[in-house]
Amino acid sequence: MKKRGVAVFGSTGSIGRSALEVINHLQHEVQLVAIAAQQSVNQICAQASRYQPETIIVSDPEAAQKVKDRLGRKYQVLAGIDALVPIAADPKIDIVIMAISGTAGLNATLTALSSGKTVALATKEILVSYGEIVARTARRFQGKILPIDSELAALHQCLAGQEIKSIRRLILTASGGPFWQNGPPKNATIDSVLKHPTWKMGKKITVDSATLMNKGLEVIETVKLFGIPPDKVATVIHPESVVHALAEFVDGSILAQLSRPDMRLPIQYCLTYPRRVPSLVAPLNLTEIKSLHFFPPDTRRFPCLQLAYEALRYGATAPCVLNAANQVAVKAFLNRKIAFELIPDIIEKTLKEHMKKKKRARLSLSILQQAERRATDYALKLINLVSGE
């Protein structure tokens, strides 16, 4: 069997590091061709010598020069985020793992899809903000999107071979983050927000998990990836993070996907799809777990989830605006510019401001990019007002 070539974009982040482990585990069938990261010189050099990709892309030019100096001529080292695009089109690559946070990897995603490749998508912002364009491009050029996000990967498995019209509801589970029981405390500190009870993840997504915006973004992803109306997507708090999602059908049957909360499993699912092979993840012992719990989410204490549904129902550019405002608000919280409880405020105000404008029926890449820029600027203005800058 010819080995399939893989590129890992965002290799030094939490998903990227797990992806490299999985690729190494599957080395008899996949070959790492390229890695891309932002600027962590030591980590990039260590990954290069451990996993031996042919090409290394470093988006920060200074860091790229340092990597080049350190690694010599053994590797092709490219500088700048734009270098992702030709690599995404490289015929040696069959699967692009997109794990760059935010929407910086959009062009590379579209390029890979329009070259008919598979994109294993971990970056939810790309689907949330640009889902229509991404899905359209995949359809047109026979590219394939496989979701790495564990809830979406679970749905992808539950829906295999099922007709869309037979779905009654899709249910996404949420761990609930650190505050689901009592609501977020007043002036929650960064440390308390970043203490996730079940998953080990990057900072942005861990904050999103604490506000429940992460689940909101996943509801939007589900609607855009599977073409399901928003009112057919539900969420439930499930603190054990063992059931990742469930699909309920019109006959009353529910299919669920269960596993340990370990991202190496959905990553492997995308790399070997539609086959299954032994993984690095230990099997689940049900008699050890004994019980699983499910609670309705409290949308009054966690308004972000509701805001995501509002953006979805409004449609057009609203999900893109919601995502942009959230990115700005979370960054401001992590930079100690705003309090945790202001995150939903900033998003709501930005969304309301956007909804005052004329609704765009036909979405294009430039219309969405313009909406993203405007929402970013508006949210930044709000933050500067409250932080007194």
Instruction: Name the residue among 57, 9, 52 with its Cα closest to residue 31.
Output: 52
Question: For Mg ion, which is the closer residue by CB, 59 or 323?
Answer: 323
The closest residue (CB) to Mg ion is 149
What phi, psi does 77 have (nearest 5°)?
-110, 120
Cα 188 off chain centre by:
24
- Outline where 256-364 has alpha helix (H): 264-272, 286-289, 303-314, 318-334, 342-355
Alpha-carbon separation of residue 15 from 10, 94, 99, 109, 130 (angstroms): 8, 19, 6, 16, 21
Q: How far is the CB of 281 from Mg ion (least distance, A)?
A: 16
Question: For Mg ion, which is the closer residue by CB, 95 or 201?
Answer: 201
Q: Say how many C-beta atoms besides its own lie within 10 A of residue 263's C-beta.
A: 24
The secondary structure of residue 179, as a DSSP letter, is G
Contact region with Mg ion (CB under 5 A), list: 61-69, 142-150, 310-318, 354-362: 142-150
Contact region with Mg ion (CB under 5 A), list: 20-28, 63-71, 150-158, 347-355: 150-158
Q: How far is the CB of 214 from Mg ion (least distance, A)?
A: 6
Query: Rule CB under 5 A: is residue 208 a binding residue for Mg ion?
Result: no
Q: How far is the CB of 22 from Mg ion (least distance, A)?
A: 17
Q: Could you say which of 94, 149, 248, 310 contacts Mg ion (CB under 5 A)?
A: 149
Structure tokens at 257: 């996907």
Question: For Mg ion, which is the closer residue by CB, 109 or 150?
Answer: 150
Alpha-carbon separation of residue 56 from 25, 43, 98, 279, 354 (angstroms): 21, 12, 15, 26, 39
Pairing, β 254-258 against β 243-249: antiparallel
Q: Say how many C-beta atoms besides its own lie within 10 A of residue 296's C-beta.
A: 9
Q: Which amino acid is at 17?
A: R
Question: For Mg ion, which is the closer residue by CB, 199 or 273?
Answer: 199
Question: For Mg ion, which is the closer residue by CB, 170 or 338?
Answer: 170
Question: For Mg ion, which is the closer residue by CB, 150 or 259?
Answer: 150
Binding mask 238-277 for Mg ion (x = CB under 5 A): ----------------------------------------
Q: Could you say which of 125, 151, 208, 262 contacts Mg ion (CB under 5 A)?
A: 151
Q: Kindly determine how many residues on this chain lie close enough to bind Mg ion according to the rule CB under 5 A.
A: 3
Q: How far is the CB of 268 from Mg ion (least distance, A)?
A: 16
Contact region with Mg ion (CB under 5 A), list: 77-85, 146-154, 321-329, 379-387: 146-154
Contact region with Mg ion (CB under 5 A), list: 143-151, 258-266, 269-277, 367-375: 143-151
Structure tokens at 262: 């370990």
Question: For Mg ion, which is the closer residue by CB, 111 or 173?
Answer: 173
- Which residues 6+ apart lie within 8 Å of 2 measured at CB? none
Question: For Mg ion, which is the closer residue by CB, 53 or 319?
Answer: 319
Contact region with Mg ion (CB under 5 A), list: 79-87, 127-135, 141-149, 317-325: 141-149
- Which residues 6+ apart lie within 8 Å of 291 measured at CB? none
Residues that bind Mg ion (CB under 5 A): 149-151
